[in-house]
Structure 1
Amino acid sequence: MGIAALVFDLDGTLVDSADDIAEAVNRTLDDLSLPRVSEATVRSWIGEGVRRLVTTALAHARSTRPLDEVMPTFMRHYRDCLLRSPRLYGGVVEVLQQLQARGLPMAICTNKPSALVPPLLDHLGIAGHFAYIIGGDTLPQRKPAAEPLLHAAQLLGQAPAHCLMVGDSATDLGAANAAGMPIVLVRYGYPRDLDLEAADAVAVIDDLRQLSACI
């Protein structure tokens, strides 16, 4: 494919953070005297940014509280829970080291607020592998819009067609297709209702260590 750079999604692709995000949601619901929800339920909501996450949680609880009134409370809990128990998926460190050794520059493109990404990468020991971070608030648009990936490609100095997106969801797939960027999807993340087998992807892999075979 002539891949010269890679762009990684974060949550559900490199990091399993669903339990921490669920705890932030549930602490917010506690503060609103609303019932808690399961980690599996929150996992099905992850991927479209924090405002969409909280909107979905409020709708699920049939709450009419204004979103802008709830967001400061959620963001406080989100920051408090950020480093509670995140873990890297298997093979992440090994693969990032191999890609860096091959001289392939890498960026993160996530819908997570940008200020929360560096502390998480530092905590997990992988910050040094990424030249750029594009968060959900870096641009006016966020995935599945094309702009975040186009911006990542520009920062990496490559045409979108020469970058490879690695993600786990319909949000990632939509962004990659809109940007004209090839994508590899992982099966182990937060696919929600995405039919991975029917997705227009270069490959769908079970383990990130299979990525090198796709480049």
Structure 2
Amino acid sequence: MAIKALVFDLDGTLVDSAGDIAEAVNLTLEELALPRVSEATVRSWIGEGVRKLMTTALAHANSALLLDAVMPVFMRHYSACLLRSPRLYDGVGEALTALQARGLPMAICTNKPAALVSPLLQHLGIAGFFAHIIGGDSLPQRKPDAEPLLHVAKLLQQPVANCLMVGDSGTDLGAANNARMPIVLVRYGYSRDLDLDAADAVAVIDDMRELLAIVG
């Protein structure tokens, strides 16, 4: 492959933030007088944006509350919990440093609200690696729609086929396939019900440093 740029998902790919997202969901449920859920349950809901996350949480609680009324409550807790305990997955820092040294431009394409991405990257010390950030509310469409990846390829000034998506979920896989962008999946993320071994991906990796041999 002639890879000239990389596009990374964030939660579940670069950053383990499930505990913080779960706490934000549970603080929201508590405020709404609804029962808490396990981190594992919330982990299975992550990846399709905050509105889908809370739609699923309300359905799980059999709540008839309106989503538009709940979202401001959730976003308040989400912002408060953002930097509670996130961590980079093993090998991420080293991989990003090596990719940058090779002169490869990099971007983030996530369904996380855009306003929450930069503070998280700054907190974890990796903001300087990324030339562009596309969040879940940056465009009318979000992953698995193709448009966020098509848009970020234009920002990176590369043909889609020369960009490599790196993600962890069916949402990422769907976006990459819809955009006809090659994708590498990580095995350690929030794959939900995706069969990683059957996925149409360039590779499935256990550590981000494996990406270095794939990019070449």
Shorter-chain TM range is over 0.9
| 1: CA distance, partners of 2:101 / 2:120 | 23
Determine helix, strand or coil for the equivalent of 1:107: strand
Shift of 1:120: 0.1
| 2: CA distance, partners of 1:207 / 1:165 | 15
| 2: CA distance, partners of 1:159 / 1:171 | 21
In structure 2, the residue matched to 1:20 is: 20
State the percentage of identical aligned residues: 79
Determine helix, strand or coil for the equivalent of 2:64: coil
| 1: CA distance, partners of 2:68 / 2:87 | 30
| 2: CA distance, partners of 1:163 / 1:19 | 31
**What is the identity, as a one-letter code, of the residue corresponding to 1:180?**
R
**What is the identity, as a one-letter code, of the residue corresponding to 1:68?**
D
In structure 2, the residue matched to 1:104 is: 104
Shift of 1:136: 0.1
Point out where structure 1 has 5 or more consecutive residues left out of the alignment: none
| 2: CA distance, partners of 1:133 / 1:144 | 16
1:28-80 Cα offsets, whole Å, 9 max, x none, are: 00001110000000000000000000000000000000000000000000000
Determine helix, strand or coil for the equivalent of 1:158: coil
1:136-155 Cα offsets, whole Å, 9 max, x none, are: 00000000000000001000
Determine helix, strand or coil for the equivalent of 2:75: helix
**What is the identity, as a one-letter code, of the residue corresponding to 2:102?**
R
Q: Where does structure 1 differ by over 6 angstroms across 4 or more consecutive aligned residues?
A: none
Shift of 1:112: 0.1
**What is the identity, as a one-letter code, of the residue corresponding to 1:86?**
P
- Which residues in structure 2 correspond to 1:1-215 (within 5 Å)? 1-215=1-215
**What is the identity, as a one-letter code, of the residue corresponding to 1:103?**
G
Determine helix, strand or coil for the equivalent of 1:166: strand
RMSD: 0.3
| 2: CA distance, partners of 1:141 / 1:70 | 22
Instruction: Give the TM-score normalised by the residue count of structure 2.
Output: 0.99
**What is the identity, as a one-letter code, of the residue corresponding to 1:211?**
L
Determine helix, strand or coil for the equivalent of 1:30: helix
**What is the identity, as a one-letter code, of the residue corresponding to 1:113?**
P
**What is the identity, as a one-letter code, of the residue corresponding to 2:108?**
I
| 2: CA distance, partners of 1:95 / 1:123 | 18
Shift of 1:213: 1.4
